[in-house]
Amino acid sequence: MADVRSMCAIGQRGQLGLNGALPWEGAKGPVYIADVERFWERTRGHVIMAGPTTCAAIPDFARAERTIVVLRSHMEPEEMIARFDDRVIYIGGGPPVWDAFAHLIQHWDVTRMPYDGEADRWFNPAWLITAKSV
């Protein structure tokens, strides 16, 4: 059985994205750098399933150590998860992906960042209560 997880960072008010990127993209503070390093450490050796924009942002160094799967709206979440039985799968890619996959995510790892600025994508707390066993 797959172990389905999601790992994301949100701003102080639940900010997730701004113009197709993290609102704090490129921030050099130690909290931001540590969050990115933790993401790459935790996902090493596992599957990352995400939308096209998120997958395109994965750097070359990270691709060799992870299985990257680009999700499209026509794909059935249960079928995608079943392709990687007995693997750890991280679901990413923002609200459209989490709207479709939240009911399958067994573990959410959410980090609150010190960012409190503008955003056009927000974390939906309902994703946390829709989970069921895969």
Q: Is the pLDDT of residue 133 over 60?
A: no
Residue 65 pLDDT grade (very low, low, confident, very high; cuts 50, 70, 90): very high
Q: What's residue 89's pLDDT?
A: 98
Q: Is the pLDDT of residue 85 over 80?
A: yes
Residue 71 pLDDT grade (very low, low, confident, very high; cuts 50, 70, 90): very high
* 87 within some domain: yes
Mean pLDDT confidence for 41-48? 98
Mean pLDDT of the chain: 94
- 13 and 112 in contact (C-beta within 8 Å)? no
Domain with residue 121: its CATH number is: 3.40.430.10
Residue 1 pLDDT grade (very low, low, confident, very high; cuts 50, 70, 90): confident
* 9 within some domain: yes
Does residue 15 sit in helix, strand or coil? Answer: strand
Residue 93 pLDDT grade (very low, low, confident, very high; cuts 50, 70, 90): confident
* 93 within some domain: yes
Total tally of structural domains belonging to the chain: 1
Residue of 134, 129, 127 lying closest to 83 (CA atoms): 134
Mean pLDDT confidence for 19-42? 95
Q: Which residues span the domain enclosing 49?
A: 3-129
* 134 within some domain: no
Q: What is the 3-state secondary structure (H, E, C) of 72-117?
A: CCCCCHHHHHHCCCCCEEEECCCHHHHHHHHHHCCEEEEEECCCCC
Q: What is this structure's pTM?
A: 0.93
Distance CA 7, CA 111 (A): 8
Strand partners, 69: 49
Contacts of 60 (CB under 8 A, 6+ apart): none
Q: Is the pLDDT of residue 132 over 80?
A: no
* 65 within some domain: yes
Mean pLDDT confidence for 23-48? 96
Q: Is the pLDDT of residue 134 over 50?
A: no
